[in-house]
Structure 1
C-alpha cells in the first residue's frame, strides 16, 4: 500500500483539536453480470493504490469468461467499471507518525471521487481511454434545510463537506462517466425559505462537475446528457458538527437541480 499521500491538509475536530489527514490514491475495478439489459449480480472487486490492479482485473475477466462461456455473442454480459478516488487517512500520534484509516469519519471529509467509467465489456471489449471521451460541464444547485446555533452564518463553507458520489453500473454501462469528480466553483450560501408558511434557513450549495460520454454510446452531449445527469448523479453533503445540522423536520424540502452552463 502507498505510504505517501497525494496531498495533505489539517482539519479541526469537534473537540477543537486539529489532526493532519492525508489523501491517498485508490483505484477500484468492479465486475457485474448483465442479461437482457438487466443487472443480475455483482462480481469480483479489485482495489489498489495504483494502476497495477488492472492486470489482476483483466486476468479475472478472462477467467470468468472462460468459466461461463461468455463471449461477444452471448446473452450473458460481463462488464468492468473503474472508479478512481482519494481516500482519507489520519496521521498517527505514535512515534513513527504512520498513516492509518480513521476509526470514525465523524468530523472528517470522506473519500474524494476523481473519476468513474466503464473500462471493459465482454460484448464491446476495452473502452477508449477516458481522455478521448467528449466532455461537458454540468452545474448543480442543492438546497438543504438547516438548523443549529450557527444557522444564520452567511458563509457556510466551514460547516459542511460536499462530494459527488460515484455512478451506478447501469449508468456507466450506458456510456455516462464522471470525467472529473472534483467540484469546481463550490459555494455554500445561507438563504431564507421562500415560503412564509414554512420559515427556516437553507444551505444552498452550488458547483460544477465534468462529465464524459463514451464515444461509442451515441449520447448527444447537448440534448441527451442532462436527463442522464439528473437521474444518476448524487451530490452528498454533510455537516462537520460545528454549529449547523440538517433540519430533520423539513428534509422533504431538500432538492437538487442541474443545468448545462
Structure 2
C-alpha cells in the first residue's frame, strides 16, 4: 500500500484517539458532578515505557502535556520530540544527582520532597537560564512519620510548609503547588481530601501556587472531586503496563 501511514500506525492512532475521547468524557462527567469546569483540569499523558511515536500521536490529537517517571527514558524522548509544542512534566521520584539532566528539559517537576532536591534543581535551573515550576510532593500515607519518605515518595504534611518556603525562595524555581499519589489499598477520596487541605494552606500563603496534581487512571474522579487541577493519566490512554504507573 502506497501513501499514508502504515496500517499498524493508523490503528495505534485510532486506539489512542478512542482512549483520549473516553478519558475526556470521564473528566467532563466528574467535573460536572463536582460543579467545576472541565477547562480547569489538565490531562497529563504519562508516556512511560511507550515510544516517542506515541508522544507524536498524542500531540497530533491535541494533547499539550506529557509526563515521564524516569530521567533515563525522559531525556532521550524529550530530545526526540523537541520540535513538538509540549509542556513536559517530570512526575517520578527524583534522585538529586539526576537534577542536572531533568532541569534541562522539564517544565514542571511534580516530585520535590526534600530541600536538598530543591537546592539541586534551583542550582541547575540557574545554570541553564531556565525557570522551573516545582510542586511539593505530599506523602498521604496516614502512618507516615515526619521526615520519612515512603515508597511512593513525598514529604510529611507537617514538613510541606517549610519545603514550600524553600522552593519559593530558590532562585530559578517557581512554587507551583502540590502533588500526591493516593496510598495503595486506601480510600483515594479520603486521601485527596487531606491533600486538598494541604493545598489550601499552601495557597493561602502563596496565592500563585494553584496546581494540585492528583489522580491517575483509576482514581481521577476522586481527585477531581477534591480539587485536582492536573491528572496524570497513562494506562487509560496508552494501555496497561503494570501496577502503580497511572
TM-score, with length taken from structure 1: 0.24
Name the larger-Rg structure.
1
More strand by share: 1
TM-score, with length taken from structure 2: 0.25
More helix by share: 2
